[in-house]
């Protein structure tokens, strides 16, 4: 059994708390002793009030301290843990191990997924990249990650940063492409749901083809007439710039690779 | 029963030929009398040789001529049909009805999907936007479309063009974001499959949340430290420019809406 204190109450923290809560009904491999957050209200309905504290002085002793707060707050939260020589891990894709105050041992458990409060998620399918400074701690982090997910892999900080940047492209930027698509549809009284099969097929296709092979559309066909038509159609300058730049990038990748 | 001649042998034509072939075993609502293509070899293994011609003089009389060729070839192919006052429809998202030679009646059957030769597709889930110049022809196009798909909707040319531009963003540009993500992973010895659950969740999430609500990541959080880190991490100038521009667009949409 590994006892854990979770620090944080944002999207990732909430999904972790819910998942550990569910899993604790099946086995007692992981016990969440307490959650520390400056904002206990955020966990209303998710966790019993007696499991939550907003005083660092009340943080109990545990095997592992799991910090799931915004990147900029990791340092401060880690230094507020009133213990030393404990394993303290954060969940950030972009922050190094050095964010953890050196009075404790450091590790990372990075779930590669997009979390929104209002959408439930099956943690068992989420790839988790883990890291720690010594073998024993790697084993402990792995034990925790294995309880959450079937896809756990040990990576170093450089790989984690690469994953985080890649995730910005394949998730955040992709979602923004959906947003622009929705705007265009709505401007022409077209329900956005019509795009959903195309969106799903685009995501599905790359299980079989790699993205370079899967590329379709006017850019890769060098179909300048259609490209010009589309640019003439777009009224928003940023959208025009995005159209131009990604078209250029598709064409240069098409050549290069 | 509606008799059809298909003109073309590219991605869309091949998927249509395969789908009509399958459907003809269940009912005879649609009969593909012949396929005209300049390149019969492209249909090897897909259709019997006696159903294919590469001479316009051999094109038989039929109720409907379905042109599935590249946008720039529609005009020429349509004028080569050796009949008049027939219903001739094309499958392009971006071309108008006027591409069809005026000796015949014009229509459009636009399947909103990304087609790759090597990936099978369930046509019944593909939204099809249809258009024609008179009510009777709309009914005929609708009959054909209804055989192919459960999701058929009548749209005008302006809406079809909007759909096509939106599709470039949610499909072609999204796929390019996957491509960049893959490049970043490969540069750091990370298998790209690790991104697949994130990619699927991103596509799935917008069934429940609209893309604006679903937006996560450093741009929408105005997390300039992480943005700067990512820009420092990217070595490719086009990728840096894309990162900057989409970040700026996410932030301006975040404010505006």
What are the tens digits of pLDDT across the range A220-249? 999 999 999 999 999 999 999 999 999 999
Q: How far is B127 from chain A (nearest CA, A)?
A: 6
Task: Identify the H or E element spanning A36.
Answer: strand A30-36
Q: How many CB pairs under 8 A join A and B?
A: 330
Whole-complex ipTM: 0.87
Give the chain B residue whose CA is nearest to the CA of A156.
Answer: B188
State whether A230 and B189 contact (CB < 8 Å).
Answer: no
- Rounded to two decimals, the pTM is 0.87
Q: How far is B131 from chain A (nearest CA, A)?
A: 15
State whether A165 and B226 contact (CB < 8 Å).
Answer: no
Q: What is the mean pLDDT of residues A104-127?
A: 90
User: Chain B residues with CB inside 8 Å of A111's CB?
Assistant: none
Find the DSSP H helices in chain A. Answer: 11-24, 74-79, 135-148, 157-167, 174-187, 196-205, 211-214, 224-233, 237-256
SS3 state of residue A174: helix
Average pLDDT, chain A: 94
What are the tens digits of pLDDT across the range A18-71? 999 998 888 889 999 999 999 999 999 999 999 999 999 999 999 999 999 999
What pLDDT does residue B75 have? 97
Structure tokens at A257: 């690779």
State whether B197 and A166 contact (CB < 8 Å).
Answer: no
Q: What is the mean pLDDT of residues B82-93?
A: 97
What pLDDT does residue A42 have? 95
pLDDT band, very low/low/confident/very high, at A3 (cuts 50, 70, 90): very high
pLDDT band, very low/low/confident/very high, at B211 (cuts 50, 70, 90): very high
Q: What is the mean pLDDT of residues B76-89?
A: 97
What pLDDT does residue A257 have? 42
Query: Does pLDDT of A120 surpass 90?
Result: no
Query: Does pLDDT of A88 surpass 80?
Result: yes
Q: What is the mean pLDDT of residues A151-177?
A: 96
State whether B197 and A241 contact (CB < 8 Å).
Answer: no
What pLDDT does residue B255 have? 62
Q: What is the mean pLDDT of residues B173-178?
A: 98
pLDDT band, very low/low/confident/very high, at A256 (cuts 50, 70, 90): very low
What are the tens digits of pLDDT across the range A187-223? 999 999 999 999 999 999 999 999 999 999 999 999 9
Q: What is the mean pLDDT of residues A6-23?
A: 94
Q: Using the CB atoms, write b or e for A109-129: b if 16+ within 10 Å.
A: bbbbbbbbeebebebeebbbb
Query: Does pLDDT of B242 surpass 90?
Result: yes
What pLDDT does residue A254 have? 74
């Amino acid at each position: 059994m590994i006892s854990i204190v979770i620090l944080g109450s944002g999207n990732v923290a909430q999904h972790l708390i819910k998942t550990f809560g569910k899993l604790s009904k099946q086995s007692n491999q992981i016990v969440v002793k307490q959650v520390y957050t400056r904002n206990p209200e955020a966990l209303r309905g998710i966790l019993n009030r007696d499991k939550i504290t907003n005083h660092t002085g009340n943080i109990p002793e545990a095997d592992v301290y799991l910090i799931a707060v915004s990147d900029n707050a990791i340092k401060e939260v880690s230094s507020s843990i009133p213990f030393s020589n404990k394993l303290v891990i954060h969940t950030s894709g972009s922050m190094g191990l050095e964010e953890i105050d050196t009075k404790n041992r450091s590790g990372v458990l990075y779930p590669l997924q997009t979390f929104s409060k209002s959408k439930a998620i099956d943690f068992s399918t989420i790839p988790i990249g883990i890291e720690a400074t010594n073998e024993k701690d790697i084993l402990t982090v792995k034990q925790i990650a294995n309880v959450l997910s079937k896809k756990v892999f040990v990576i170093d900080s450089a790989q984690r940063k690469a994953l985080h940047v890649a995730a910005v492209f394949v998730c955040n930027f992709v979602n923004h492409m959906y947003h622009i698509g929705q705007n265009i549809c709505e401007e022409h009284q077209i329900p956005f749901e019509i795009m959903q099969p195309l969106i799903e097929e685009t995501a599905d296709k790359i299980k079989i083809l790699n993205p370079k092979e899967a590329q379709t559309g006017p850019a890769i066909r060098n179909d300048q007439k259609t490209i010009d038509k589309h640019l003439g159609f777009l009224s928003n300058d940023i959208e025009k710039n995005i159209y131009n730049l990604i078209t250029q990038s598709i064409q240069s990748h098409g050549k290069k690779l």
